[in-house]
A and B are shown apart, each in its own frame.
Chain A
Amino acid sequence: MGNLTYAMDELLPLTPTVFHILLALADQKRHGYGIMQEVLAMTQNQVRMGPGTLYGSIKRMLQANLIEESDERPDPELDDERRRYYRLTDLGQRVLAAEAQRLSTLMDVAQAKHILGSAEVV
């Protein structure tokens, strides 16, 4: 199962799951459970990924070279050695930044159209 080479344009826009995983890995490497916990925290418990969703996405993100496995462990003595840690690649960081920029532009449009305040009314 070799890696696939994608251009940035082919990867954007990202699916919500991929975006959440990339965002969870933006500041540090994490294992599967750590990614899930971080996504829960980021989304105020709204996005809860199951093991199938998480590892299916991780598999395809590894193939697309958005993330890679990390051999380094934060604290090997405290950690379960069977866990695999993942971190962003250079491509992953660039794709994450591009997607964040895309969403930010959309937010500007939403703000200009006075959409944001109306969510509380509904």
Chain B
Amino acid sequence: MSRISSKNALLLAEQLYQILLFVYPVTHRREYGPLMVQLFRDLCRDSYRQKGFIGLVQLWSHILTDTAVTATVEHFYALQEGGKLMTRTQHWMVLSLAGLPLELGVLLYLINPAFIGQMFMPNAAQPVGWMMVAAVFFLVGTAYVVQRRIIVLSRLSDSSSQAVCGRGSRIVWSILLGPFRSIVLNGHSGKGFLFACSILLLVCPATFLVLFGPAVVAVLRAGLYP
């Protein structure tokens, strides 16, 4: 009986880990996913043999930390590779989506500054703050997923989708200067203009929040806002 339950526990753990692997970039998952699952299976077997269910719980705490850190790192590397593969329109789509949380933040800032305060300093007594954080993470996550799909699609498509930015450029360079460079080189095309606008939509609210956010909050807290 206990042998059956332990087998089920190990099987369930492996299935959960396979689901967890979806947080990694597609390319990394395809290349190393099966190897990581196999390694996880070995680790599970060892942990269970040594400490039983406690060992599995300890292993999971280690695995969750490892996954959170390394998935972020892999996405960063994937962004560096993918930035060179996207077309101008794809860049525009991605940046617009990535800018949504910031734009939403500015809107809420104007409507109700307390929302923003709760967003950056949430606690258990302020469920709205947690909801806002969750919403922001959801939007950023969506932008991320869409971007990964675009990169994979662009890899499968023809070579004409190669690169807004030059060889050796990194993602920050391509995001900040790519559209302006393309406007200068190719004329004031509609797509280029839209792309530049999307950059401004992304950068301006961020700059505003960073430079003037604390000052505005201080003024509002002083009672100049009803």
Residues of A near any B CB (own CB < 8 A): 1, 32-33, 36, 48-56, 58-60, 80, 82-84
Contacts and interface: CB of A to CB of B under 8 A. Distances in A.
Interface of B: 24, 27-28, 31-32, 34-40, 42-43, 62-63, 65-67, 69-71, 73-74, 77, 81
Contact of A50 (B24, B70, B74): B70
Contacts of A55: 32, 35-36, 39
User: Per DSSP, are chain B's interface residues mostly helix, strand or loop, or mixed?
Assistant: helix
A51 B34 contact: no
B73 A51 contact: no
A101 B62 CA distance: 32
A80 B41 CA distance: 13
B34 A52 contact: no
Contacts of B32: 55, 58-59
10 contacts: A50-B62, A50-B63, A51-B35, A51-B39, A52-B36, A52-B71, A53-B69, A82-B35, A82-B38, A83-B38
Contacts of B36: 51-52, 55
A50 B42 contact: no
Given A51-B36, A51-B40, A53-B70, 10 more contacts: A32-B38, A32-B39, A36-B39, A50-B62, A50-B65, A51-B66, A52-B69, A52-B70, A53-B66, A56-B74
A51 B18 CA distance: 12
Contacts of A1: 27, 81
A32 B51 CA distance: 23
Nearest to B42: A33
Contacts of B67: 50, 52
A119 to B, nearest CB: 26
A54 B81 CA distance: 21
